């Protein structure tokens, strides 16, 4: 089963929220919604969504002012949904950190197409165009969001997938515990290093031939973890 991408919809128009959430649900996404900027910050910090759909005209804070805070707390791409169609407004939003801009009113098919493109591009590795990483007999697919052992899919929870994907984006390199916490749980959990230990043990039970002597998920004591892709 593919792990559903989590999409945060930041919008105060309840009718539009209903339409967008229904459309996302039909495409296999999991949508959560908030109507204020402060709630959006809380969700970004604690839920760490895969994508943010952001209205600029929020009741408590302008969406443009919210973008830097989202960027500080998350690497999730942001698509602006706004009635402001002026070219300069679009430029300001893109310069502030948005990845795409949709002017209201927009069609549902166009929104879904933009979501697919953004998520597909974001799934690509930072240092190349690869969308998969292989180690041993395993292949992690960033686009389809699954882990295969040969031809068999390995069941992973959303958190396990995020944790493994963070390591896989930096194969054979140490990833600090703080970075793993931010990517898998959100910035609100960066003092919860025990979370990484618990979930890493769960991943090892699913992946490692010998949990007591891991060959893939390697701990660097007091520093973090790395995913070993070498055969040696």
pLDDT in tens, 211-223: 999 999 999 888 8
Hey, where are the domains in the chain?
A: 6-123, 157-227
Is residue 158 a contact partner of residue 3, using CB atoms and an 8 Å limit? yes
The CATH number for 157-227, chosen from 1.10.10.10, 2.30.30.100, 1.10.260.40, 1.20.1090.10, is: 1.10.10.10
Q: How far is CA 7 from the centre of its chain?
A: 9
d(CA 147, CA 151): 10
Pairing relation of β-strands 78-82 and 30-34?
unpaired
As a whole-number percent, the residues of the chain with pLDDT over 70 amount to 96
Closest alpha carbon to 65 in 97, 99, 101: 97
In the predicted model, what is the mean pLDDT of the chain? 90
The predicted pLDDT at position 127 comes to 56
The pTM (predicted TM-score) of the whole model is 0.81
The predicted pLDDT at position 1 comes to 61
Asked if pLDDT for residue 154 goes beyond 80, the answer is yes
- Band (138; pLDDT cuts 50, 70, 90): very high
d(CA 162, CA 166): 6
Does the domain at residues 6-123 carry the CATH identifier 2.60.40.420? no
């Amino acid at each position: 089963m593919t792990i559903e991408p989590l999409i945060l919809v930041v919008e105060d128009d309840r009718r539009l929220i209903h339409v967008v959430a229904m459309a996302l649900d039909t495409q296999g996404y999991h949508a959560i919604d908030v109507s204020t900027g402060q709630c959006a910050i809380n969700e970004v910090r604690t839920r760490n969504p895969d994508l943010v759909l952001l209205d600029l005209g929020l009741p408590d804070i302008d969406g443009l002012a919210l973008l830097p805070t989202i960027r500080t707390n998350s690497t999730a791409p942001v698509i602006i949904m706004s009635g402001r169609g002026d070219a300069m407004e679009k430029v300001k939003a893109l310069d502030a950190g948005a990845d795409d801009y949709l002017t209201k009113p927009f069609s549902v098919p166009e929104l879904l197409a933009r979501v697919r493109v953004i998520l597909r591009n974001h799934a690509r590795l930072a240092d190349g165009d690869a969308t998969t990483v292989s180690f041993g007999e395993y292949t992690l697919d960033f686009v389809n969001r699954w882990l295969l052992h040969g031809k068999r899919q390995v069941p992973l929870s959303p958190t396990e997938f995020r944790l493994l994907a963070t390591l896989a984006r930096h194969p054979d390199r140490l990833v600090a515990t703080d970075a793993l916490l931010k990517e898998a749980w959100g910035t609100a959990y960066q003092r919860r290093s025990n979370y990484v230990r618990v979930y890493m043990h769960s991943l090892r039970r699913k992946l490692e031939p010998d949990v007591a002597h891991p060959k893939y998920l390697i701990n660097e004591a007091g520093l973090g973890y790395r995913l070993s892709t070498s055969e040696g």
